[in-house]
Structure 1
Amino acid sequence: MNKNDVQKKIVLGILFIFPLLVYLFFASGVNNFAKLPVLNNQVKELDVKNQNIRLKDHITILGYWGGSLENKKAEALNLNEKIYKRFYQFEDFQFVFLVDSSRSGQVDKLKKSLKQGVGTDLSRWNFIPSNSEYIKAHFSSLKTPFILESDYSSPYVFIIDKDLRLRGRDNDNDKDSENLYGFDARSVAQINKKMIDDVKVILAEYRLALKIYNAKREK
């Protein structure tokens, strides 16, 4: 066997093994190698005028911050550091937050605080100006046990898949077998212990589905 043949086999081996290692890495959470359970398959699509922002065909971290942006800096920093910076470069991944339409000034301040230091690329942070009735109606479409606070905000964020389905856990070990619908953005511990794992799983799920689809097309 000559040197060129050896090099070709090494390259082919890397091309085969590397995607597998990537998948194993992203599926290494609590939900090992399983799809993230669907808890609701009828999440309402966004009705956003003059903005090309949709839940369909995206993997979305969805939140409802209503009129309380001045109190959301800690939650935003937690999500930005632990989730957004880690995953925002994946295709079709986005953050979407519904906020009171009168809070545009607070949105700008929040973005500035997120950019401090290394200057985070916030292109996939989306703030949707809305009224209280729309925020309430959209939140209700998730069909979770949570309720909005008086300012139409919630500390919880949710994983929505490309088909407008709420993903989570249907047997959460820390909740006596109850469903885990969303993640408390105030809790760094919950983000570290559960949310990072679940985002890894859903990204791995879609990456694997794409590889299978492409392989079938090549046959």
Structure 2
Amino acid sequence: MKKTFVLVSLFVLPVVIYMFFASGVYNFGKLPVLTTDIASINTKDSKVSFDNKITILGFLGNAIENKKGNAFNLNQKIYKRFYKFNDFQFVMMVPKGSENKVAELKKELGHLVDIKKWNFIFSEEQDIKNVFNSLNTDLELDDDLGSPFVFIIDKDGNLRGRDDDEDEGVKYGFNTTSVADLNNKMEDDVKIILAEYRMALKKNNANRGK
């Protein structure tokens, strides 16, 4: 009996625990849709869009020099961890006329990691406001058209977030000035949405093979 108990503890129990958590992620690990039909970010100068991409959307504003710390936090805590996923991208909307400031920021970010999936969209003021307002959050743009918050947009152009956050209730975005918010919440939510799409892909492939 003792040998049997030991064998069960060593081999069977870990498998049961794994299956429990795996099924939990499958059944409950979906990030809620908070807003549908986010305004398009397409411009004449860029082919970047939300279509078929998991996007981290941000608004750097005119005073990019004041947002460098935010960008570095995001680069280190989120981008470096996930940028190798094929369908993952960063999109930062910035006002036209900020090209030189963005070039300097990109150069500094590039010292730390390959920034090929950082996309900067140079837009008119009203276009930036249109996209931000279409998120339909309880947040506001700063006077310089920037925000410390970034947002998770799914492949269908919908805003994903938390509808039962323990601190905020509905959590629309993540504060890039807070390493704790990026580490403790945003990282988890990005993992969830990536896992969601991977599971959907595996399911579709399995169905095709039947």
TM category, shorter: 0.7 to 0.9
Shift of 1:46: 1.4
Deviation per CA, 1:37-66, whole angstroms, max 9, x where unpaired? 000112112121132201111000001112
Counterpart for residue 184 of structure 1: 175
SS at 2:180's partner residue? helix
Letter in 2 for 1:122: I
Among candidates 140, 144, 147, match of residue 140 of structure 2: 147
* Mapped partners of 1:158, 1:98: distance in 2: 12
Q: Which residue is 2:106 aligned to?
A: 111
Partner secondary structure for residue 94 of structure 1: strand
Q: Which residue in the other structure is 1:134 paired with?
A: 127
Question: In the alignment, which residue of structure 1 is the partner of 2:7?
Answer: none
- RMSD across aligned C-alpha pairs, in angstroms? 1.9
Unmatched runs of 5 consecutive residues or more in structure 2? 1-14
* Secondary structure in structure 1 of the residue aligned to 2:104: helix
Tell me the residue number matched to 1:9: none
Q: Note if contact 1:66-1:132 (Cα within 8 Å) is conserved in structure 2.
A: no
Residue from 98, 105, 121 that aligns with 2:114: 121
Question: Does the C-alpha gap of structure 1 residues 194 and 32 become closer, same or farther in structure 2, counting only changes over 3 Å?
Answer: farther
SS in 1 for 2:201: helix
Distance, in Å, in 2 between the alignment partners of 1:208 and 1:46 is 28
Quote the Cα distance in structure 2 between the aligned partners of 1:149 and 1:198. 25
Shift of 1:32: 8.4
Indicate the residue corresponding to 1:168 in structure 2.
Answer: 161
Shift, 1:33, TM fit: 4.0
What is aligned with 1:198?
189
Moved over 3 A (4+): none
Deviations 1:162-207 (A, max 9, x none): 00110000001112xx200000011001101100000000000000
Q: Distance in 2 between matches of 1:61 and 1:185?
A: 12
1:37 aligns with 32
Asked if structure 2 preserves the Cα contact closer than 8 Å seen for 1:36 and 1:201, the reply is yes
TM-score, normalising length: structure 2 = 0.86
Inter-CA distance 129–173: structure 2 relative to 1 (3 Å threshold): same
Match of 2:200 in 1: 209
Whether the 8 Å CA contact 1:33–1:201 is kept in 2: the answer is: no
SS across alignment from 1:179:
strand
Please give the alpha-carbon distance, in whole angstroms, between the structure 2 residues aligned to 1:97 and 1:50.
14
1:98-142 C-alpha deviation (Å, 9 max, x unpaired): 0011010100110111122x4x11110000001111111110000
Instruction: Name the structure 1 match of 2:63.
Output: 68
Q: Distance in 2 between matches of 1:73 and 1:39?
A: 28
**SS in structure 2 opposite 1:191?**
helix
Q: Do the aligned partners of residues 112 and 55 (structure 1) sit closer, same or farther apart at CA in structure 2, a change above 3 Å counting?
A: same
Question: What is the aligned residue count?
Answer: 191
Q: Compare 84-93 and 43-52 and name the one that shifted more.
A: 43-52
CA distance in 2 between partners of 1:45 and 1:123 (Å): 21
Aligned equivalents of 2:201, 2:72: Cα separation in 1: 32
The CA distance in 2 between the partners of 1:36 and 1:123, in whole Å, is 26
Q: Separation in 2 of the partners of 1:142 and 1:104? A: 25
Assess if the C-alpha contact under 8 Å between 1:35 and 1:201 holds in 2.
Answer: yes
Query: Identical aligned pairs, as a percentage?
Result: 51
Give 1:5's aligned residue. none
